A and B are shown apart, each in its own frame.
Chain A
Amino acid sequence: MPNMSLKKQEMPSQAPEVRNRNFQEVALGYTEEQAVEEAQRCLNCKNKPCTGGCPVQIDIPAFIQEVANRNFEAAYKVIARTSSLPAVCGRVCPQETQCEAKCVRGIKGEPVAIGRLERFVADWHNEHSKEAMKKPASNGHKAAIIGSGPSGLTCAGDLAKMGYEVTVFEALHLAGGVLVYGIPEFRLPKAIVQKEIEGLKNLGVKIETNMVIGKVLSIDELLEQGFEAVFIGSGAGLPRFMGIPGENLKGVYSANEFLTRVNLMKAYRDGSATPIQHAKRVAVVGGGNVAMDAARCAKRLGAEEVYIVYRRSEEELPARAEEVEHAKEEGIIFKLLNNPTRILGDENGLVTQMECLEMELGEPDASGRRRPVEKAGSEFLLDVDCVIMAIGTSPNPLIKSTTQGLETQKWGGIIADENGLTSRTAVYAGGDAVTGAATVILAMGAGKTAAKAIDDYIRSK
């Protein structure tokens, strides 16, 4: 008899007033008892609607049944069949719009906490399993992966498991892409990312850091060197700015810069070699996960007031529901239906204020969301000493500009077919480099699809 509670097991978490002063993980994870109890809420539907909602098609009811029976390692094996980064996805996937949105239990009451269970299983495995993944026998073929973010790591892992000799080229000094420079420690501990990367190395994947492909080596040179296929997973790293007056004042950051200083360069630690401004009043412009991350980092760095300034309403916030909820609990102030018009500074070029306009929602636009319309004469000033622009990113043009015949969209996204094949033979692409800024799990899905396509291509040669 399943557990018929309408509510999911609550996630043990650090108290908001404690955690908004530290960088340790917010959510602490289910205990074994909680996990088993939550797993018993699953009805084990035969048609598995949840699996249909998962970009990497994890057999969700199967792993949850193993949890319910306390076979935690068996549960991990089910997940690992299709997902290469479960400890990461359990933490950062937008489950409420994917698997959990399809859960039958969600029709009346809360859906099964699939994401939390996935995290539990991955953490349990990482803590208890002694089994190191073994390097499979080589099939003698070489593949190159550009970028060590979610799509690149997934593609690398899948190819390595098939016996390919895989080399991952990373531009920064540390592998992980957005998982290390973007998503903060309190949401995704870097030790977890490190563990996943160590796992790949055990599979024989080589990771070469400090390699900016397009500069130090071109894609054509990689192909000449004997890589039979290349996967481009270079992400969407180019920050957008609004183009409003005052954006180059001191104290205005792209979210990329702010988060990179904090996460990759550890600027939050005492004695860090990388400086960061410890602002008192911070406005973060944007409503996505990146905006929430930046706001919560600013709070942890000691800001007294942190605002999220977003031009649409709460309903349209693109961030994961849990991140919005956590941000609110931590004291982040949401200024919704507000749009910045200019940033003002003092005689030293330091930010002092941001002017905003109030907005109201009009007719739906191309995205299907109601278009924000300015309310005439509603200008007001917000006193701030730091503004963080989190309004999106676009793909880096470095690879496109150095690869002849690689076609891209006008906005920079690499054009790839449903298997990830680009306009160049043997060159595949996936993740944010193709779609523009999206989610970790969609990038992983793309890496997975491309790995299969690369295998088919090399076998058919």
Chain B
Amino acid sequence: MYRIVKKQVLNPTVTLMEIEAPLIAKKAEPGQFIILRVEEQGERIPLTVADFDRAKGTVTIIFQIVGATTEKLNRLEEGESLQDFVGPLGTPSQVEGLKKVAVVGGGVGCAIAYPIAKKLCQQGTEVHTIAGFRNKDLVILEEQFRAVSQKLKIMTDDGSYGEKGLVTNALQALLDEGNQYDEVIAIGPLVMMKFVVELTKKYGVKTVVSMNPIMIDGTGMCGGCRLTVGGKTKFACVDGPDFDGFEVDFEEAIARSSLYRPFERQAHEEACRLFQQEVR
């Protein structure tokens, strides 16, 4: 079984868990993901590896409570176990040889951006991090990012913390200041990544995005995670999740991500209702 050795609430909607999974911890690299099931009969959900400790044999996941499964996951406590935990899946992020990189994270996407920033920092890359959140209460991983970035800009939509504005405002300012990046790595909501790419296209800076579509098995079997990249169909689970942002068809990806939204909303409400009954 996959024991939860640490649980930490990062903000009201985002939780960190460190899971005992020695074989996966031994192989995991930044950019890869795992698939978990909370319970028997549960659904399979993909989550990106937020960190790993090869010596301790643990893999860290950070998740936002958005649906029934993440709601149930969030109710588990330290010492309890997950039903299934499989990985590491997908292709690791390619960061070798990069001298200077802007890492852009949006919301819970920062959890995926962090291990990449950390790896970049460890290999001596100059890292500028831009982390965007809706408001002050939702800010996560600030200290961790600060430790691995030469520059860190926190952006909030309402200006309640850091600077007011979108991540694209901060990125544009850095580019206008004359920063020459080998690459921009953008990880966050699809709409955010789309706008980052629109901006960097103008500046001609190569941009890598991390796609997190609907999937079941994570090994190339179902094809549910397919997206169009450079006019070709790719499977995010095996060909990605990182892709050249200039080539990704974001409109299609945004449409595909909404297929089960009504179902998810209903399932989440039901899960919350059941939970409230239990509490009472």
Q: Which residues of A contact B (CB under 8 A)?
A: 171-173, 181, 209-212, 215-217, 237-239, 241, 243, 247-251, 253-254, 256-257, 260-261, 265-266, 272-275, 277, 348-349, 396-398
Contact = CB atoms under 8 A, between A and B. Distances in A.
A148 B255 CA distance: 35
A171 B223 contact: no
A274 B37 CA distance: 11
Which residue of B27, B217, B264 has the most chain A CB atoms within 10 A of its CB atom?
Answer: B217
B220 A396 contact: yes
Contact of B227 (A171, A210, A248): A248
A212 B84 contact: no
B256 A173 contact: no
Which residue of A238, A249, A272, A396 has the most chain B CB atoms within 10 A of its CB atom?
Answer: A238
13 contacts: A210-B86, A212-B87, A239-B222, A241-B226, A247-B233, A248-B252, A248-B256, A250-B258, A256-B222, A261-B216, A273-B42, A275-B264, A398-B238
B66 interface: no
**Residues of B in contact with A, size category:** 35 or more
Interface in B198-218: 216-218
Contacts of A348: 255
B203 to A, nearest CB: 29
B178 to A, nearest CB: 40
B221 to A, nearest CB: 4
A238 B37 contact: no
A215 B27 contact: yes
A260 B27 contact: no
Contact of B219 (A248, A273, A277, A396): A396
B118 interface: no
Contacts of A248: 226-228, 233, 252, 256
Nearest to A217: B23
B130 interface: no
A212 B86 contact: yes
Interface string B221-265: 111101110000100001000000000000010011011100110
A403 to B, nearest CB: 15
Interface string B48-91: 00000000000000000000110000000000000111111100
A257 B69 contact: no
Contacts of A274: 43-44, 216
B263 to A, nearest CB: 4
B267 interface: yes
B162 to A, nearest CB: 35
A309 to B, nearest CB: 18
Given A248-B227, A248-B228, A273-B41, A260 B216 contact: yes
Nearest to B83: A173
A173 B89 contact: no
Contact of B255 (A273, A349, A398): A349
B24 interface: yes
B216 A265 contact: yes
Given A238-B220, A253-B224, A396-B221, A173 B86 contact: yes
A275 B270 CA distance: 14
A250 B255 contact: yes
A209 B84 contact: yes
Given A209-B84, A210-B86, A241 B223 contact: yes
Given A238-B221, A265-B44, A396-B220, A250 B89 contact: no
Given A173-B86, A273-B267, 5 more contacts: A173-B37, A212-B87, A237-B217, A250-B259, A274-B216
A183 to B, nearest CB: 15
Contact of A256 (B24, B85, B223, B258): B223
Interface string B126-167: 000000000000000000000000000000000000000000
Q: Which 4 A-B pairs have the closest CB atoms?
A: A349-B255, A257-B222, A254-B223, A273-B43
Nearest to B251: A349
A209 B255 CA distance: 33
A173 B263 CA distance: 23
Contacts of A398: 219-220, 238
B263 A275 contact: yes
A273 B70 CA distance: 12
A260 B221 contact: yes
Contact of B84 (A173, A217, A273, A277): A173
A212 B221 contact: no
Contacts of A172: 217
A241 to B, nearest CB: 6
A140 to B, nearest CB: 25
Which residue of B68, B223, B226, B256 has the most chain A CB atoms within 10 A of its CB atom?
Answer: B223
Contacts of A277: 259
Which residue of B89, B218, B222 has the most chain A CB atoms within 10 A of its CB atom?
Answer: B222
B21 to A, nearest CB: 9
A78 B37 CA distance: 41
Nearest to B23: A216
Contacts of B267: 273, 275
B43 A265 contact: yes
B86 A171 contact: yes
A171 B217 contact: yes
Nearest to B43: A273
Contact of A215 (B43, B89, B216): B89
A396 B238 CA distance: 10
A272 B264 CA distance: 12
A274 B35 CA distance: 14
Contacts of A217: 23
A203 B143 CA distance: 54
Contacts of B217: 171-172, 237, 260
A239 B226 CA distance: 11
A349 B238 CA distance: 24
A405 B24 CA distance: 25
Contact of A257 (B42, B224, B252, B256): B224
